A and B are shown apart, each in its own frame.
Chain A
Amino acid sequence: MAPFLTADVAQSYPTGPSVEVRMELPGEGVTVLFGPSGSGKTTVLRVLAGLERPGRGRIQFDGVPWVDTAAGIFVPPHRRPVGLLFQDFALFPHLTVAGNLAFGLRDLTPAERRRRVGECAAWVGLAGLEERLPAHLSGGQQQRLALGRALVRRPRLLLLDEPLSALDGPAREELRRDLGRLLKDAGIPALLVTHDRDEALALGDRLLLMAGGRIRQEGSPAEVFSRPGDAELARVLGVGTVVKVRVLGPEHGLLRVRAGRAELLAPDPGGLGSEAYACIRGEGVALERAEPEGAATRNRLPARVAALERMDGLVRVHLECGFPLEALLSAWSCEDLALRPGDEVLALVKATAVHLVPAKEG
């Protein structure tokens, strides 16, 4: 598909590193812009929304130039058909829920406006709360109000800046599911900025990995997380193993899943569909030469050592056990085991070290 939005922009700051980004967005689905804080993700979002003027570059949206610094073109934010969900939601404190939703609908007749506001309030689960002020809403309700306010105008592109970071506690996973459902319903292309791996996996169709002000890698979320381009990116992603799994069913209070040719047991986080991602931290994987006596570890996977990667005091062991698995050992225990590439070993993965994240359906 032809790109819907192309951007090639550069922004430099008197303090801190510059941002230089070349990217394309497709006309559908959720693209995740992933990176550590300070990598320039939010700057990209603000430049796309028009809240910041790039030092130089061009942005083309569906054939319309938004920015062309060479030609002196700059479309101001209020003329771009973009919805932006701010990290802190930026609700209007002096307006009610209905007033916030209606803010961007001035061009409609009052009757039509009322209809759209009512529809939208119901859609984001705020029906009956139309006369409340934002200060009297819960964090999750505020987030949904901000999302409804951005979408009620039917923008052609939705930008989300760390939409779940202001929320915490046990409700966060549920809110993430709600957000995923609403984004799917809305059916408009979205760019979502996050530094949270679970969020990226659960919500993204595509992933752009950003580090040091540049986009360094792109692909499906699982692809990028399981095959970082280089050591620096692996560190940025901060993961051991990420593998797509098929959920088989519950077993003794755990969940049995199939990963490639192997099977794993993991705690059930709830709310999974038939597919999920299993995230396994390297520290949670132990290696043995022979079957240990009386070990209670649930997941015992025959594996072959593919490669060893030494870092100060630690060794990252790349294994093949029906899916690529990564173990993090101390150099000492690695020497005890006398590991060589090609060796056959037993990988022991504690069930609690396997973290399941819902995969995006479809």
Chain B
Amino acid sequence: MDGQALFLSLSLAAATTGLLALLGLPLAAWLAFSRARWKPLVEAVVALPLVLPPTVLGFYVLLAIGPEGPLGRLLSPWGIRLAFSFSGLLLASTLFSLPFAVQPFAAGFAAVPLRTREAAATLGAGPVQTFLRVVLPQAWPGVLTGLVLSFAHTLGEFGVVLMVGGNIPGQTRTVSIAIFDHVQALEYGAAARTAAFLLAVSFLVLLLTYGLRRKEAPWRLF
């Protein structure tokens, strides 16, 4: 089996999920609660990866982070090269999984009763306190769903990785790329083993999520 590729895929999925939690939670909170007039604009941009072919998104990211791209030029004085590197891959998959994280987050936040947020305000909690102590605890099923979907989605990504990362073993050669390589080389046995493993991991992650989300008698972790 492709231990190295598997490890790389899991690392990428974990890092992407972490980054999406950091960026996606505030963004989703803004989307859920803001009454700004240009909110639909942001909503549309966030949802774009759902409809764009991965190759299109990958193409633009590649242009941006290439040596002549705006991001590439900005970072090159510090010796940072994003194209065909793990960091570039991380950037691309974060963008690509954005709707998978932000939409469940925002739906979870929007379902929190307005009254409980108002009650928190009358009890002296400012917006940040209210978010941390009232909104997040009530919206955790949505947050969990968003995190799991981003993880699983990143694990299975192919097109964006191929465009942005190429196929460098240990750096950008993820599981899905490895499986593709095996099939190209007619190594069906190796492809089948890796594919089965990926299927099992994805299924287990989703099963665990839905089990924890059960309203009646949720499974306990401990």
Contact = CB atoms under 8 A, between A and B. Distances in A.
Contact of B118 (A79, A86, A149): A86
Q: Which of A79, A103, A150 has the most CB of B within 10 A?
A: A103
Interface string B68-100: 000000000000000000000000000000000
A83 B138 CA distance: 23
A94 B134 CA distance: 8
A78 B125 CA distance: 6
Q: Which of B118, B123, B134 has the most CB of A within 10 A?
A: B123
Given A86-B115, A103-B133, A78 B138 contact: no
Interface string B108-122: 000001011011111
B126 A78 contact: yes
Interface in A61-83: 76-80, 82-83
Contact of B122 (A82, A95, A106): A82
A86 B119 contact: yes
Contacts of A79: 124
Given A94-B137, A94-B138, A84 B125 contact: no
A263 interface: no
A54 interface: no
A178 interface: no
A50 B121 contact: yes
Given A93-B138, A94-B138, A103-B133, A83 B116 contact: no
Contacts of B119: 84, 86, 90-92, 149
A262 interface: no
B124 to A, nearest CB: 5
Interface in A248-266: none
A83 B186 CA distance: 72
Given A93-B138, A94-B138, A103-B133, A153 B124 contact: yes
Contact of B115 (A82, A90, A150): A90
Nearest to A155: B122
A77 B122 contact: yes
Nearest to B121: A77
A92 to B, nearest CB: 6
Given A86-B115, A92-B116, A150 B122 contact: yes
Nearest to A81: B124
A51 interface: yes
Contacts, number: 62
A90 B126 contact: no
A133 to B, nearest CB: 12
Tell me what chain B mostly uses at the interface: helix, strand, loop, or mixed.
Answer: helix
A207 B129 CA distance: 37
A93 B138 CA distance: 8
A209 to B, nearest CB: 26
Contacts of B134: 92
A95 B119 CA distance: 13
B115 A153 contact: no
Interface residues of A, number: 25
Contacts of B121: 50-51, 76-78
A14 to B, nearest CB: 14
Nearest to B117: A90
Contacts of B125: 78, 103-104
Interface in A97-113: 103-104, 106
A84 B137 contact: no
Contacts of A90: 113, 115-116, 118-119
A49 interface: yes
Contacts of B118: 51, 77, 84, 86, 90
B212 to A, nearest CB: 15
Nearest to B137: A94
A87 to B, nearest CB: 9
A88 interface: yes
A78 B113 contact: no
Contacts of A103: 120, 123, 125, 133
Contacts of A51: 118, 121-122
Contacts of B120: 78, 92, 103
A84 B115 CA distance: 11
Given A92-B134, A94-B137, A94-B138, A104 B124 contact: yes
Interface of B: 113, 115-116, 118-126, 129, 133-134, 137-138
Given A49-B122, A92-B120, A104-B125, 16 more contacts: A50-B122, A51-B121, A76-B126, A78-B126, A79-B124, A84-B118, A84-B119, A86-B119, A92-B116, A92-B119, A93-B138, A103-B120, A103-B123, A103-B125, A106-B129, A153-B123
The 6 closest A-B pairs by CB, nearest first: A104-B123, A90-B115, A77-B121, A90-B119, A84-B122, A94-B137
10 contacts: A50-B122, A51-B121, A77-B121, A78-B121, A90-B118, A92-B120, A93-B138, A106-B129, A150-B122, A153-B124
Interface of A: 49-51, 76-80, 82-84, 86, 88, 90-95, 103-104, 106, 149-150, 153
